[in-house]
Amino acid sequence: MIKLTRIDDRLVHGQVAFTWTPALGVDCLLIANDKVAKDEFMKMTLSLAKPAGTKLLIKAVKEAAAFLNDEKSKNARVLVLINNVKDAAALAAEVAEIKTINFGGLRSKEGSKLISKAVAVNDDDVVIIRDMLAKGIELEVRQVPTDNKQLIESLI
């Protein structure tokens, strides 16, 4: 069962390990990213950041969708981590269970603008965001579970 789908360009870090994981009661972190799935150094680094007692899976986006759609994974309590808007939309298109996506952190990059204190998006991201909203996916901004939800449509 997916407990949360989160876009955060840092993937696994303190907020994920020490606030989201215990607040959601997750036992599995699933990183969905094609590049990271092929990068042994990144995989090792991210495994060092995961909370004790939590399983870490790192899969390409298509493989992550297959895992989430597999009946065998339904007993796991999963926090899905994605580092960009495009991959989040691709995963949501393949996994019907994804009805809400949390924007936790996207650092500024060239051509992007801040829409909250921790989320910066560019024009391409906004097009994808509007498409996901049109499909009925709730998109909310929150860095930690105790923050108030901000719906992204009020920020873009």
pLDDT tens, position by position, 30-81:
999 999 999 999 999 999 999 989 999 999 999 999 999 999 998 999 999 9
What was the pLDDT predicted at 14? 85
What was the pLDDT predicted at 2? 97
What was the pLDDT predicted at 37? 97
Enzyme catalytic residues: 13
**Interatomic CA distance for residues 85 and 62, integer angstroms:** 15
pLDDT tens digits, residue range 75-104? 999 999 999 999 999 999 999 999 999 999
Average pLDDT over residues 124-142: 97
pLDDT above 90 for 149: yes
**Interatomic CA distance for residues 101 and 72, integer angstroms:** 23
The fourth-level CATH superfamily of domain 2-154 is Phosphotransferase system, sorbose subfamily IIB component (3.40.35.10)
Average pLDDT over residues 113-142: 96
Q: Give me the percent of the chain exceeding a pLDDT of 70.
A: 100
Q: What is the mean pLDDT of the chain?
A: 95
pLDDT above 90 for 10: yes
**Interatomic CA distance for residues 104 and 16, integer angstroms:** 9
**Pairing relationship of beta strands 138-141 and 150-151 according to DSSP bridges:** antiparallel
Boundaries of every domain in the chain? 2-154
Q: Give me the percent of the chain exceeding a pLDDT of 90.
A: 91
Strands (E), 9-153: 28-32, 55-59, 78-82, 100-105, 113-114, 120-121, 138-141, 150-151
